[in-house]
Amino acid sequence: MVSAGDNDSVYLWRTDCGDLSEIDYVASACTFFETLAPVLPAEGNIVIKPNVTVPSDPEAGIIVHPDFVGGLLDSLIARAIRRERLYVIEGHIARNEAGRLTWDVTGYTKMAETRGVALLEVDDDRIVDVPVPEGVVYNALPLSATLAEASIIINVPIAKCHNLALTTLAVKNMMGMVAEPSRHFCTVQSVDDDVADRLMEVTPEGLSFREERWCHKVCDLASAVKRLPGKNLHVVSGILGRDGTGFGTGNNYLLNIIAASENPVHVDAVVTYLMGIDPMKTPYLNIAMERGMGTNRIEEIEVIDLRSGSRISMGELAASVHSPAFVPLARSQGGYQPRFREDGTLEPWMRCIHKRPQRQNAARLAA
């Protein structure tokens, strides 16, 4: 159903799990992908890039469940895609000396071995510098060569909140494509040296300047990835969603959706909306829209019900918004605080994190 060319529509698949025990990630992902039926290149590598940055229990809602990726792989293999063309790639935060910690703990090693598919850590790959056309912060970014040269990249985030991004979906998930030490956009990098004295400023939009700069960094990356030779498809695993910080602090909810688009801004806007967060108050989506990468005005995005093939009305979409709304949290002194104030305005991220003790002697990262 998804074309080989640009397609800004968002395809929404609703699941009907009543509780966590009913989630069958393999069957849900496989059926979804078979119904979506994206056009796949006849040759070249197919790369799946999930959110699996940390060694977390797969049931915790912090990473994309390995069985969800397994279901996507099963669908690809069923379409006679040769296993040697398939790669699952991620840039981990935590690695042990053998480089297997995160893959093993999260269940990805077993999932991939069962299917005869290769796992690849970005920093173990050949790295290539990818230009950033009209980049605001970066002129180029170092990416995994296997990923950059793939015939199609299937970017697979999980629907969850994040202390900085508010939602960490398709756009932010691309950070894991970048090689160390440039991967950590959230830190102060050498590329920020010229503006170091401004990072704590609060912009007219109510953001810290550092937060605004982070938004431009992820938009630079999304712009670069879009212009790679291969195709992009963004698939949000949203059967289970998580609010909070994006890591250990938060609540899991049955969101019961899978969403896909060739436009990461559009799929992020729709999923953010369904999580109960206003995409018009989500900074990186506002900046992406300002940069012409798409819109975060929900009424301007065509959302297709994948089961029926018909467009979903705004009324029907509004009725699908999760209640209670997901709450993004940031860690501050004495605990955690919501990123949104009671009046609906945004608390600048730097103000939140500077209310708690900072790590000493943190290494500066190169751009």
User: 243-298: per-residue pLDDT in tens?
Assistant: 999 999 999 999 999 999 999 999 999 999 999 999 999 999 999 999 999 999 99
Strands 231-242 and 152-156: parallel
Please enumerate in sequence order all residues whose Cβ is within 8 A of that of 249, keeping only pairs 6 or more positions apart, or say none.
329, 331, 336
pLDDT, residue 358, reads: 40
pLDDT of residue 205: 83
Residue 169 token pair: 């979906």
In angstroms, what CA-CA distances link 179 with 6, 25, 183, 204, 223?
27, 29, 6, 33, 17
CB 1 within 8 A of CB 38: yes
Is this prediction's pTM over 0.85?
yes
Tokens for 196, please give them: 């170091």
Cβ density class 41-77: b for 16+ within 10 Å, e for less: eeeebbbbbbbbbbbbebebbbbbbbbbbbbbbbbbb
Residue 315: predicted pLDDT: 97
257: tokens are 């959706």
- Distances 140 to 34, 203, 223 between C-alpha atoms, Å: 36, 26, 11
- The dihedral over CA atoms of 157, 159, 162, 164, expressed in degrees to the nearest 10, equals 70
Pairwise CA distance, residues 246 & 266, whole Å: 21
Of the candidates 12, 7, 8, 1, which has an alpha carbon nearest to the alpha carbon of residue 258? 12
Question: What is the rounded distance in angstroms from the CA atom of residue 253 to the CA atom of residue 34?
Answer: 26
Q: What is the pLDDT of residue 211?
A: 94
CA distance linking residue 8 with residue 2, whole number of Å: 10
Are residues 199 and 220 in contact, defined by beta-carbon separation less than 8 angstroms? no
Q: Nearest Cα to 152, choosing from 217, 75, 208, 233?
A: 233
Span 106-136, pLDDT tens digits: 999 999 999 999 999 999 999 999 999 899 9
Show Cβ contacts of residue 24 under 8 Å, excluding neighbours closer than 6 positions. 67
Structure confidence at residue 356 (pLDDT): 43
CB 283 within 8 A of CB 272: no
d(CA 209, CA 205): 10
Q: What is the pLDDT of residue 366?
A: 37
42 token code pair:
């006849």
N-to-C CA span, the chain: 39
What are the domain boundaries of the chain? 14-353
- SS3 at position 249: coil
pLDDT for 95 = 57
Per DSSP, helices labelled H in 37-162 are 66-78, 101-105, 108-115, 145-148
Residues of the chain below pLDDT 70: 1-6, 94-99, 351-367
pLDDT of residue 5: 45
| Predicted local confidence at residue 94, as pLDDT | 60
CA distances to 36, 79, 261, 277 from 3, rounded to whole Å, are 10, 17, 10, 29
